[in-house]
């Protein structure tokens, strides 16, 4: 079974803090994705990576950056957290097939 | 126009009935289609994938794809209360997945 894990299930941060969200997959997948999910807006792609040290912007990259130093790990960074970044953050990975497998999600609250 | 559109519902069906969920997409070049189920507070989990026109059955679930009309549907037979969740349609276009906003389904015992 594919396993995607995320570093935290719940996180509370203050405005202006730098926030790190980590995602690890154990299936040697090349492709990894970060989404945020908000009521009424669905899943929106922030960034994705198709290889180590490679990254591509998704639909809403502003205010975020990513890092992929190792194949199994994909980190999302909020450089200076703002209240409008309060959301559920979902990491996903995909191998040679087309199915994306999701981690459990991190619910982030920015005060 | 959104890439993927779903009726947000909520959709309510009695236990044992057939639930029908629909999804339309805008890119005619899309090749693969997915249905995910998401329980409240949880992450999406894959139920079905479909790549060719027609029906694909897996247990109580049937996915239907019509590329000419650009729609994909999910039928859930003998609906159970445990099927109550939000169902997300996803379409793979090029190297990107596009998700619908989901349809909320409630199965009433």
Average pLDDT over residues A40-61: 92
Q: Which two tokens stand for residue A111?
A: 């005060």
Mutation target to probe the B interface, by most B beta carbons within 10 A, among A35, A98, A108 is A98
- In Å, how far are A76, B44, B47, B77 from B12, measured between CA atoms? 37, 20, 20, 14
Among candidates B43, B49, B92 on the partner chain, residue whose Cβ is nearest the Cβ of A103: B43
- Least CB–CB distance from B100: residue in A33, A42, A105: A42
pLDDT tier at A97, thresholds 50, 70, 90: confident
Backbone angles phi, psi at B62, to 5 degrees: -135, 125
- When CB atoms are compared, the residue of A40, A41, A100 closest to B97 is A100
How far does the CA of residue A42 sit from the closest CA of chain B (Å)? Answer: 4
* CB distance A5 to A100 below 8 Å: no
Q: Chain A residues with CB-CB distance to B under 8 A?
A: 33, 40-43, 45, 48, 50, 58, 90, 98-105
In tens, the pLDDT along A66-89 reads: 999 999 999 999 999 999 999 999
- Considering CB atoms only, which of A48, A98, A102 is closest to B44? A102
Coil vs helix vs strand at B81: helix
**Chain A CA closest to residue B42:** A104
If you search the block for the tokens 């559920």, which residue do you land on? A88
Beta bridge partners of A36: A44, A89
pLDDT tens-place string over residues B22-64: 999 999 888 899 999 999 989 999 999 999 999 999 999 999 9
| Cα of B81 to nearest chain A Cα, Å | 22
């Amino acid at each position: 079974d594919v396993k995607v894990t995320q570093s935290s299930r719940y996180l509370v941060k203050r405005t202006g803090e730098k926030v790190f969200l980590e995602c690890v997959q154990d299936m040697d997948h090349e492709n990894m994705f970060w989404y945020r999910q908000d009521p009424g807006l669905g899943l929106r792609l922030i960034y994705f990576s198709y290889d180590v040290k490679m990254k591509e912007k998704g639909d809403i990259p502003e205010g975020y950056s990513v890092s992929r130093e190792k194949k199994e790990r994909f980190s999302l960074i909020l450089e200076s957290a703002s209240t409008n970044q309060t959301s559920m953050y979902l990491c996903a990975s995909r191998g040679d097939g087309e199915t994306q497998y999701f981690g459990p999600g991190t619910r982030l609250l920015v005060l | 126009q959104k890439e993927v559109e779903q009726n947000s519902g909520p959709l309510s069906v009695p236990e044992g009935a057939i639930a029908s969920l629909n999804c339309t997409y805008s890119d005619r070049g899309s090749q693969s289609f997915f249905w995910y189920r998401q329980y409240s507070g949880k992450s999406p989990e894959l139920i079905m994938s479909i790549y060719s026109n027609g029906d694909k059955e897996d247990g109580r679930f049937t996915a239907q794809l019509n590329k000419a009309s650009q729609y994909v549907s999910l039928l859930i037979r003998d609906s159970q209360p445990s099927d109550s969740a939000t169902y997300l349609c996803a379409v793979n276009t090029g190297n990107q997945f596009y998700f619908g906003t989901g349809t909320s389904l409630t199965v009433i015992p």
